[in-house]
Amino acid sequence: MYSKEEASRIREEFWTTFGQYIAPQPSAEGLRINWINYKTGIRHLFFKMEAGSRGGVIAIESTHPDEGIQELVMEQFTVLKNMLAESLQEEWIWELHLQNAQGKVVSRIYREIDDVSVFRKEDWPALISFFKPRIVALDDFWSTAKYAFEIFNG
């Protein structure tokens, strides 16, 4: 088992490695982008990547404190579901109003990879291979879809 400091250092090293690997990849709009801290430009809407001891998750997450707004955001994604599926080329899991690790109610659309650990360097290529094409696909989708979500910035 790792101390908190050691676990934090390993996670930071993984994300630094991932960041260096994906940095040359331009956004769908041809721009340099911070892939790890992807900015959707919409308040309370995030593209998140998480790597832990049992696997990894990439998600579109709505964290708006008003659960009704979360439902509206998810409805908007439902309207664009075919476009999202075309970009992702796979099915993702959709969940409305679940509790995250911090106890907040969120809604998310996500995909997981199991049986890999950020704490095993030999698993890093699998994690990187999982995250990279999906975050790039999300960016491709978002380059067109973001305009349909601007109403949520009010």
Q: Tokens at residue 79, please?
A: 């309207």
CA dist., res. 71 & res. 95, Å (int):
10
Per-domain residue ranges of the chain: 14-57+77-153
Q: Tokens at residue 45, please?
A: 């809407």
Question: Going residue by residue through the chain (154 aa), what tens digit of pLDDT does each one get?
Answer: 789 999 999 999 999 999 999 999 999 999 999 999 999 999 999 999 999 999 999 999 999 999 999 999 999 999 999 999 999 999 999 999 999 889 999 999 999 999 999 999 999 999 999 999 999 999 999 999 999 999 998 6
What one-letter code names the amino acid at 18?
A: F
CA dist., res. 20 & res. 112, Å (int):
22
In this predicted structure, what is the pLDDT of residue 97?
Answer: 97
Tens of pLDDT, residue by residue over 110-151, are: 999 999 999 999 999 999 999 999 999 999 999 999 999 999
In this predicted structure, what is the pLDDT of residue 60?
Answer: 98
CA torsion, ordered 125, 126, 129, 130, to nearest 10 deg: -150
First-to-final CA distance of the chain? 45
In this predicted structure, what is the pLDDT of residue 9?
Answer: 96
Place of tokens 């801290």: 37
Q: Tokens at residue 64, please?
A: 């708006």
Q: Tokens at residue 102, please?
A: 């911090």
In this predicted structure, what is the pLDDT of residue 154?
Answer: 67
CA dist., res. 44 & res. 83, Å (int):
22
Distances (CA, A) of 117 to 11, 56, 71, 110, 136: 10, 8, 33, 18, 22
